[in-house]
Structure 1
């Protein structure tokens, strides 16, 4: 292909969305959008992307989402319980009649981008400092206790 500006424009669109390296799904969508301007064979050769993978993803795009009702139920639950992770959502979903496994629920939460951010392990480091505790003794022997004098420490 003579003009490769389209490739840079499309990758800028993907990186602007927060993705450092596009997945096969995103790459297939980019290729599909470029098919009206360039032949498929040239696009696949330029990107060194397998033709079978491209056609696989085209079939996946046309397929309806089997978990659409489940995803909607998860979003409804998260609307009322914003700080519930997968462990607290599991029993609520079972009450609604959805019997799914832990990993599938985690995968759907990741896909819907509704991870809980309020409970972070790195929210703060432990510090035992409690300020000035106790009584400071009077300086009876007139020592120079000013920290600025001991600059070499």
Structure 2
């Protein structure tokens, strides 16, 4: 019964240190624009507490409070997938048909394709696809799109 009463009192009157730490975490999280996770934010919180001369909180406490407040780093929440043009639909690499013989004396005999992944201003991925003739070294055509469909 005493444990139950202890936690009831604790929930009714939250700890002032806890509220202050929550405010510090929220402020630093907003300052770094949600790009700092638990580890980096803990380091910043501990540095702040050393500056003001208070005991620095434990990393587990910072993690628990961040979880309670719903603060999550948005920079690393998704696995970054890079496009690899050498992989086919089943994930295997294509055969090397040029065998490093890039020179050609006839037009349109050897053409190569390059796909470059770029990041647009709005944060989305954009693909630049180019087809080049190796004999004349001219870019025959190019396209920009949100999907890689040109060089398939």
- The question of a shared fold, defined as TM-score above 0.5 by the shorter chain, is answered with no
| TM-score of the superposed pair, with normalisation by structure 1 | 0.43
Flag the structure with higher strand content. Answer: 2
Flag the structure with higher helix content. Answer: 1
